[in-house]
Amino acid sequence: MIIEVKHHCNDFNSYRAARVKSLFNAENGYSWERTADLPVENFEWKIGLIVGPSGSGKTSIGERIFDRQAVYDLYSGWDRDKPVVDCIAPDGDFNTVTGALAAVGLGDVPAWLRPFHVLSNGEKFRAGLARLICEHPEQAVIDEFTSVIDRQIAKIGAMAFAKSWRRGTGQIVLLSCHYDIIEWLQPDWVYDTREARFSRDCLRQRPKIELRVYKVKGSVFRHFKPHYYLNLPLPVAAEYFVGMVGNEPVCHIAVCPFFTAKAYRATRLVTMPEWQGAGVGTGFLNFIGEYHLQGNGRCGYKYPTFFHTSHPQLCAALRHSNAWIQTGASLYGTNKARSIKSIKRSRKKNNKFFSDGSMGCITGYGGHFRAVQSFKYIGNEN
């Protein structure tokens, strides 16, 4: 495919324009032409990348690969009076929408409940990608891909988007001025406008993410709490763990004894937004489960770990994992009054009374209306 770009505008003859021409010998400033050779018809592909500095013709070339209507605007068409979760595929399946949001790294649940215009630049970018994945046109062109977000979000976001897009059948061309996303995106082809070079040799190994896990104090949770979607007190007798990439804390979890069931219970799992979509959170959770299964937890018991979550995509990931089994599911929460009665019966049966003969102030668990699913880590020999 040979793409010829010819742009022309008026040749101005004002004093300043004439002076610029005389100083810099710029007699042809009204004309801009480029020719690009993109042999993309001869093989099957899903993701292409046009990369180069600003003003090198990326947008003009991208608009001519497909029809101009294929150019997709991630930032337009959002309803200011609805949360993003209602704006993406409004007639589609709920799990498909939340799955797309999580797949592109926007797993920060409170952000789903905000209108698009109040989101941060990184959240807007990922929300736009989630909408694109749900609509999944046969042909699309995305301009300024990852240009308005910081580079860490760009790399992880590019990787998460590529994994999601490849599950479908459409073709997409991404236009970017940043070269650092190439090895994370792993496109089928790259055209560099700076060198006018087309390449298919771009499937280099994606950089490895080295996650180091530390046991920390419970006070560290305050750094992760803004991204935790429940408002609960810290668990009793818990040990706290943080996953680090380089010098950056990226995920957190707390593990408390559940010895009445010969197990541990993991809770407060948080992955920082800029690292969501890379598989860091599930890898971290698996490590913690194996850590306790091998007898490294409190009291040294080799017990399995239970984990409860309401996040639909995390539930799906754990159900598809050989290391986890699902042990329960509640679609509407639990009855707190029944829990109180159960605790009273247990205290009475075991003669656990206070000095005044009463059972003291008894509370119960549950009473919420969240759909909670339960899982148990059993390990995996592979």
Whether the per-residue pLDDT at 183 is higher than 60: the answer is yes
- Which numeric CATH code is attached to 212-377? 3.40.630.30
pTM score, whole prediction: 0.74
pLDDT number for residue 8: 75
Number of helices (H), then strands (E), belonging to the chain: the values are: 11, 14
Residues with Cβ within 8 Å of residue 125, at least 6 apart in sequence = 74, 146, 148, 149, 153, 157
pLDDT score, position 357 = 59
Q: What is the distance of C-alpha 142 from the center of its chain?
A: 19
Both tokens of residue 39?
Answer: 């042999």
Q: Residue 125 in contact with residue 277, Cβ under 8 Å?
A: no
Q: Closest Cα partner for 109 from 284, 276, 332, 333?
A: 276
Higher pLDDT, 341 or 20: 20
Neighbours of 345 (CB within 10 A): 10
Cα-Cα-Cα-Cα torsion 52, 103, 306, 256, nearest 10 degrees, comes to: 50
Mean pLDDT value of segment 81-87: 96
Weakest mean pLDDT among 3-7, 14-18, 28-32: 28-32
**Separation CA 193–CA 216 (nearest Å):** 48
Q: How would you classify the pairing of strands 197-199 and 171-176?
A: unpaired
DSSP for 174-210? EEES-STTHHHH--SEEEETTTTEEES---PPPPP--
Quick one: pLDDT band at residue 33, thresholds 50, 70, 90?
Answer: confident
Q: Is the pLDDT of residue 381 over 60?
A: no
For residue 369, is pLDDT > 70?
Answer: no
Percent of the chain clearing pLDDT 90 (strictly above): 43
Return the closest-CA partner of residue 228 out of 174, 176, 270, 287.
270
What's the CA gap between 62 and 141, in Å, rounded? 7
Average of per-residue pLDDT across 310-319: 86
Instruction: Write the pLDDT tens digit of every residue in 338-354.
Output: 666 766 777 677 666 65
**pLDDT digit string, tens, across residues 285-296:** 999 999 999 999
Structure tokens at 269: 């799992």
Distance CA 262, CA 305 (A): 9
Is pLDDT at 220 greater than 70 in this prediction? yes
Instruction: Answer yes or no: is pLDDT of 162 > 60.
Output: yes
- Banded pLDDT at 1 (limits 50, 70, 90): confident
Q: What is the pLDDT of residue 332?
A: 56
**In the predicted model, what is the mean pLDDT of residues 133-145?**
92
And the tokens for 66? 């497909």
**Domain coordinates in residue numbering, the chain:** 2-199, 212-377
The C-alpha angle 326, 329, 335, rounded to 5 degrees, equals: 145
> Mean pLDDT over residues 162-169, rounded?
89
The residue-averaged pLDDT of 83-95 equals 93
* Residues 182 and 151: beta-carbon distance below 8 Å: no
**Lowest model confidence (mean pLDDT) among 38-47, 144-153, 193-202:** 144-153
Query: For residue 261, is pLDDT > 90?
Result: yes
Is residue 144 within 8 A of residue 17, CB to CB? The reply is no
Percentage of the chain modeled with pLDDT above 70: 87
Residue listed under structure tokens 């595929």: 89
Of the given ranges (19-33, 257-271, 306-320), which has the lowest mean pLDDT?
A: 19-33
Q: How confident is the model at residue 313 (pLDDT cuts 50, 70, 90)?
A: confident
Of 23-37, 89-103, 206-220, the least confident: 23-37
Per-residue confidence (pLDDT) for residue 37, from 0 to 100: 85
Query: Residue 238's Cα: distance from chain center in Å?
Result: 27
Mean pLDDT of 136-148: 89
Beta strands 248-258 and 239-245, pairing class: antiparallel
Pick the more confident residue, 188 or 340.
Answer: 188
Mean pLDDT of 242-256: 94
The dihedrals phi and psi of 356, each to the nearest 5 degrees, come to: -90, 5
Q: Are 325 and 283 in contact (CB under 8 A)?
A: no
**DSSP helix/strand/coil, 28:** coil
How many Å apart are CA 216 and CA 221, to the nearest integer? 9
CATH code matching the domain that covers 2-199, chosen among 3.40.50.300, 3.90.650.10, 3.40.50.10470, 3.40.50.970: 3.40.50.300
- Rounded to 5°, the CA angle 154-204-168 comes to 65
Average pLDDT of the residues of the chain: 85
Q: Which residue has the higher pLDDT, 153 or 377?
A: 377
pLDDT band of 318, cuts 50, 70, 90: very high
